[in-house]
Amino acid sequence: MAEFTMELNDEQKEVRDWLHGFAADVIRPAAAEWDEREETPWPVIQEAAKVGIYSLDFYAQQYFDPTGLGIPMAMEELFWGDAGIALSIVGTGLAAVGVLANGTEEQIGTWIPQMYGDANDVKVAAFCSSEPDAGSDVASMRTRAVYDEAKDEWVLNGTKTWATNGGIANVHVVVAVVDPELGSKGHASFIVPPGTPGLSQGQKFKKHGIRASHTAEVVLDNVRVPGSCLLGGKQKLDERLARARERAKAGGERVKNAAMATFEASRPAVGAMAVGTARAAYEVALDYAKTREQFGRPIIDNQGVAFQLADMRTQIDAARLLVWRASWMAVNGKPFTAAEGSMSKLYASETAKKVTAQAVQILGGNGYTREYPVERMHRDSAIYTIFEGTSEIQRLVIARTLAGMPIR
């Protein structure tokens, strides 16, 4: 087990500096354009693939970093560049985590490479869990998967929403209900291979922030996938469902569902994204406060501004430490006995909203215009308290964990 440390080693520092350079030289100069266009920044993703950032190998190296700090460090630097473009670069990772959390070794080896493609032909993947009537309330999910034993196929029907890369992805990972009587415990995850008939893109959403990231509905109309596309395999699913039924009869002991396993693994990473956006806004505000003069002196000489910057920096550092702790715990197999993963996501998300709003205030009228990036950062920050579990859901998870109650 790697010891917990607040100091990156030399190799991690080298990777951090490399990512920071890419974010500064490639992502930031393109941020305003792709935010206005509200389109997937394929040229930037391709540049990331050419240098090795958008690749299975890179994310595998960070994912298996024994300190747990590889992924949060990478997320912070890329999202420091721009949240919308960075989400287009890393959005495939949520689908990959879904396969890693629930799939067999063969499924991992088969499907994750197809999610990324290569530098000459980049691909993206989508994780499809939320539905129009089932966002935080995963027990209300309606998308069904029915097994056709004669053909060894699963038939999927339903509509998914808020799917990053939904409809444009090469590979879709879809969470569906296989046993409605078990609620959230009766869910399973499925791979929908590229070109599968019946899968189509529904509405593409025009968003407040992260506008360079494609978000859309995914419609599943009698989508047939081979039995091998059930993540984990049918034997494992049948065993899990049998245990869930027995526990339901005995009083409802907690059992993880497929979507929850993915979100538990990814929440600290979302916290790191929020830290990157907050840090970016803070740095812009700090530089502005040092150079902007009013009444014959830089505005940072005024306590009203200086104290805001002091609080911003303190909150950012505290958020990063919570993210790092949760990431270290996750990679070293330490249970989140106090919902430390949700803590990190909650605090970092709230910090990003607060810090970006303060940055706009410090810049005054300039901060409210698109001539300065804090306006975009403020819009982008709103998503962190919403996706992959709202702040309210994080508080519920934390409270129920502390009380020793099951998380549904």
Strand pairing class (199-204; 215-226): antiparallel
pLDDT band at 109 (very low <50, low <70, confident <90, very high): very high
Is 217 designated active site?
Answer: no
258-402 fold = Butyryl-CoA Dehydrogenase, subunit A; domain 3 (1.20.140)
At residue 253 the predicted structure's pLDDT band, cuts being 50, 70 and 90, is: very low
Q: Where are the domains of the chain?
A: 10-122, 125-250, 258-402
Distance CA 72, CA 273 (A): 8
Q: Is the pLDDT of residue 352 over 80?
A: yes
Query: Are the beta carbons of 76 and 275 closer than 8 angstroms?
Result: yes
Query: What is the CATH architecture of 125-250?
Result: Beta Barrel (2.40)
Neighbours of 404 (CB within 10 A): 7
pLDDT above 70 as % of the chain:
94
Q: What is the pLDDT of residues 177-205, one digit of tens each?
A: 999 988 888 999 999 999 999 999 999 99
Fold of 10-122: Butyryl-Coa Dehydrogenase, subunit A; domain 1 (1.10.540)
Structure confidence at residue 97 (pLDDT): 85
* pTM as predicted: 0.91
Question: Rounded distance, CA 310 to CA 7, Å?
Answer: 22
Q: Choose among 154, 197, 198: nearest CA to 176.
A: 154
Q: Which of 47, 76, 131, 388 is catalytic?
A: 388
